[in-house]
Amino acid sequence: MSGLDEFRAIYFQECAELLDALEQELAAIADQRASPDSVNALFRAAHSIKGGAGAFGFPDLVAFTHAFENLLDAWRQDRLAVDPSLIQLCLRASDALAGLVQAAQTGAPAPASAAELIAAMQERLAGPSDCADGICVLPLDLAAPAAPRPTGWRIDFAPHASLFLRANEPLLLLRELAELGPIDVACDLSALPSPADFDPEHCYLRWRIELTANCTRDNVLAVFDFVEGDCDLAITPLEAPVPPDPMPIDAPAFSFDDLLASVRAEAAAPLAAPDQPPAPNAPDLAPPPEPSSPRSANTPPAQEPPKPSIRVDLDRLDRLADLASEVAIAQAAVTQYLDEDIRRAAPDLVRGLDALTQHVRALQDAVMAVRALPLKSVFQRFPRLVREVAAATGKAVRLDIHGGEVEIDKTVIEQLADPLTHMIRNAIDHGIERPDARRAAGKPAEGVVTLAAEQIGARVLIHLRDDGAGVNRAKVRAKAIERGLITEDAVLSDEDVDALIFAPGFSTADQISNLSGRGVGMDVVRANIVKLGGRVSLRSTPGAGCAVTLSLPLTLAVMDGMQIETAGERFVLPLAAIVESLDRHAVRVEALPGGRASVRFRGEFAPVIDLAACLGLTRAGPRRFIILCEIEAGKVIGLIVDDVIGQAQAAVKSLEQNYAAVPGVSGATILGDGRVALILDPTALVDLAARPLPLARGHAA
């Protein structure tokens, strides 16, 4: 990849982040959750995309973002009537902008809608036909009374401390400003800290510039385009009276001669005696008080410098995770050969290996933390989806989001958008009633869809709940009979009827629409979640709503597990799911009605599953232990196993990608002796025990 190609790739990565920011801010404005800086943030995002598009030669993208930028600039300067139609226009422009960015990246032609939207944005700016609720917007050139162009400008330029971190240089800005005309510059040094507190990556200087030039204010603003938001900027005509102390040009608390003397004194300090008093003429280097700086009406408040970050390809992170897993496997192999004789003969070796084990674990945890992202990166796209689906169905719906800070592996996050989109559409289209029906049922006219996430052990649960009518089980059953999924005399429980919703091709819609009716939805949701090693469950209460829960692994790369043995085969159980290990002969296993075995645990009966029988294996040894595991909904089950080997961190390998999906199994790992062990899913084992599916011995080797 050439240098230009690399920069172009970085630009498109930045575009993706800026487009996400546009979507978030527009959603916040539409939901009346906007901050005072939201419109400025929209303008900066569009402006940044335009700047890169011009640098890399994408004229269609430049033309569109320029029109969008003009619209946002008029909005932030209060020259447009803000109403739902303006927000909707900006949302459409954001979608078109995403399409143009994709077209520029792939070399495809620009979307046809781009030209129409440019015309719509220009028409919105043109007025006076653009009226909303009796408020008309004047053309931009008539928005203020005509005034003679000033002969110059006074510019107070106060960079934020983080200006250098964004690769900006004030000196270059001053040189560019000088191209407009003669400038007179005064520098404010009052914010310089003491040498001990000086950070060469921070900007401490501020400037007042008097520009003598027959130019517009926009000409001056254009010079500072790429530092907007990273500085405090005030631009006033030279003819205007000087504002009261907009940026006092004070003398610094110490001179540069004093600063140089101080640096020399500090350099020589180590050579002096420890109890030597300071020189009598040393300057007082106490940092001056924090200076105040002017702010323009449209400039956001200063923010703390962002933490430095870099972009890394996901392939590199995957490779790093694989290497960390291989290191863990090698470490486990070495540790496995430490018998008691070696431990007694080489205690230093044992201590070193124990330290290595801790460092390998910390390494894997660090790698997983790098791959983790908060779920809000997915959740934030759904408020707009809810508004659009509600409008299309004529329903009033509100989306409540909780738990967006829960983090999960990036690989999982990337595949969550489509399943959640299907679920939300179904919740609104099939679950939430129309306002008149809700009022008749004694409910508020506005329905509520709740999207929530929580972490439980090594899994993340995502709940989607609605307060609608719930599953119409009679209709589901009738449709299932009509499609031949069940017979008319089939005896099904409520849970069995609800499970029919996940059957391929199943739909209760009476006619096909843009939202539903094609039978492609919940079966796709379940298939995609199962591919991620997850599960889908549904609970419905007639008249009160429906709740769908996705249970997903926290990470797809590494987990803490407990090695167990049954029928001569090694397996791994997720450590987070294990509640307790019991001696098989110290507890009483009882038979419940129906023939199911159970064990009393903390005052309740927990069902017990013989692992070897469940997996179709031939027992080779005595059943010595019962492993109590927590499954979904806080339930506990017991697994009868032959032996408990010990705890270890397992590098998770996908079984589907390397072999095929196996019931009751969520993945595989490599043990220290090189053998492959299957990672068991306790919840899936319950389903497997209810309808046993034999597993060949070769699959467990």
pLDDT at 297: 39
DSSP 431: I
- Backbone dihedral region of 215: left (phi > 0), alpha (psi from -120 to 50 degrees) or beta? beta
pLDDT at residue 453 in the model: 93
Tokens of 654: 């996908």
How high does pLDDT run on average in the chain? 78
Instruction: For CA atoms 144, 147, 152, 156, give the dihedral sign.
Output: negative
pLDDT the model gives residue 444: 93
pLDDT above 70 (res 115): yes
pLDDT of residue 3: 61
Q: What is the pLDDT of residues 671-693, one digit of tens each?
A: 877 788 898 888 888 878 875 43
pLDDT at 303: 45
- What mean pLDDT is predicted for residues 590-607? 78
**Please, which pLDDT band fits residue 700 given cuts at 50, 70 and 90?**
very low
The three-state secondary structure class of 476 is helix
In which residue are the tokens 């003669």 written?
182
Residue 86 predicted with pLDDT over 50: yes
Find out whether 151 and 238 touch, Cβ atoms under 8 Å: yes
Band of residue 262 on the pLDDT scale cut at 50, 70, 90: low
Q: How far apart are CA 75 and CA 406, in angstroms?
A: 35
pLDDT, position 244: 52
Task: For residue 500, give Cα distances in angstroms to 296, 439, 522, 548, 695.
Answer: 61, 30, 10, 14, 26
Q: Residue 279 pLDDT > 60, yes or no?
A: no
Between the alpha carbon of residue 229 and those of residues 20, 46, 157, 225, 689, the distances in Å are: 18, 14, 12, 9, 61
- Pick the most confident of 142-156, 289-303, 321-335: 321-335
Residue 127: which pLDDT band, with cuts at 50, 70 and 90? low
* Interatomic CA distance for residues 83 and 132, integer angstroms: 7
Percent of the chain exceeding pLDDT 90 equals 10
* Mean pLDDT on 461-489: 87
More confident position, 267 or 62: 62
Rounded-to-integer distance, Cα 431 and Cα 538, Å? 13
DSSP state of 457: T
R_g (Cα) of the chain, nearest Å: 33
Cβ(211)–Cβ(127) below 8 Å: no
Tell me whether strands 206-212 and 152-159 are parallel, antiparallel or unpaired: antiparallel
- Non-local (6+) Cβ contacts of 630 within 8 A are 457, 577, 578, 579, 636, 682
Backbone dihedral angles phi then psi of residue 289, each to the nearest 5 degrees: -65, 150
Element (H, E) at 463: strand 459-466
pLDDT tens, residue by residue, 563-583: 999 988 999 998 878 888 888
pLDDT at 502: 80
Measure the CA angle with vertex 575, ends 570 and 580; round to 5°: 95
- Report yes or no on whether pTM surpasses 0.75: no
Q: Tell me if residue 513 falls in helix, strand or coil.
A: coil
Q: Which of 69-78, 254-263, 634-643 has the lowest mean pLDDT?
A: 254-263
Lowest mean pLDDT among 259-268, 421-430, 622-631, 688-697: 688-697
Give the number of other CB atoms < 10 A from CB of residue 502: 16
Rounded Cα distance between 121 and 64, Å, is 10
pLDDT at 432: 93
pLDDT in tens, 339-372: 778 888 888 888 888 898 888 888 877 887 888 8
Confidence of residue 466 (pLDDT cuts 50, 70, 90): very high
Calpha distance 450→545 (Å, rounded):
11
| pLDDT tens track for 177-191 | 888 888 888 888 888
Per-residue pLDDT band at 20 (split at 50, 70, 90): confident
Q: Which two tokens stand for residue 176?
A: 């560019």
Q: Checking DSSP bridges between strand 447-456 and strand 459-466, what pairing results, if any?
A: antiparallel
Average pLDDT, integer, range 619-645: 83
Walk across the sheet containing 569-574 and list its strands.
Answer: 643-651, 558-566, 569-574, 676-680, 665-670
pLDDT confidence band for 288 (50 / 70 / 90)? very low
Asked if pLDDT for residue 139 goes beyond 50, the answer is no
When pLDDT is averaged across residues 273-295 and rounded to a whole number, the result is 43
Amino acid at 472: N
Average pLDDT rounded to a whole number, residues 66-80: 86
pLDDT at 79: 83
Region 35-60: mean pLDDT is 82
Whole-number pLDDT of residue 281: 44
475 pLDDT higher than 50: yes
Query: Do the Cβ atoms of 441 and 550 come closer than 8 Å?
Result: no
- Quote the Cα angle for 622-636-594, to 5°: 75
- Segment 614-631 shows an average pLDDT of 83
pLDDT of residue 404 exceeding 70, the answer is yes
Say if residue 142's pLDDT is above 50: no
Which class for 181: exposed (0-12), middle (13-18), buried (19 or more C-beta within 10 A)? Answer: middle
- Quote the pLDDT of residue 299: 42
Task: Please report the pLDDT score of residue 308 as a whole number.
Answer: 63
Please tell me which residue, 165 or 1, carries the higher pLDDT value.
165
CB 379 within 8 A of CB 519: no
pLDDT interval class at 485 (50, 70, 90):
confident
Percent helix, strand and coil across the chain, each rounded to 5? 45, 20, 35
Tell me, what amino acid is at 63? A
Give the model's pLDDT for residue 295.
39
- The C-alpha atoms of residue 527 and residue 549 are separated, in whole angstroms, by 14
pLDDT at 623 over 60: yes
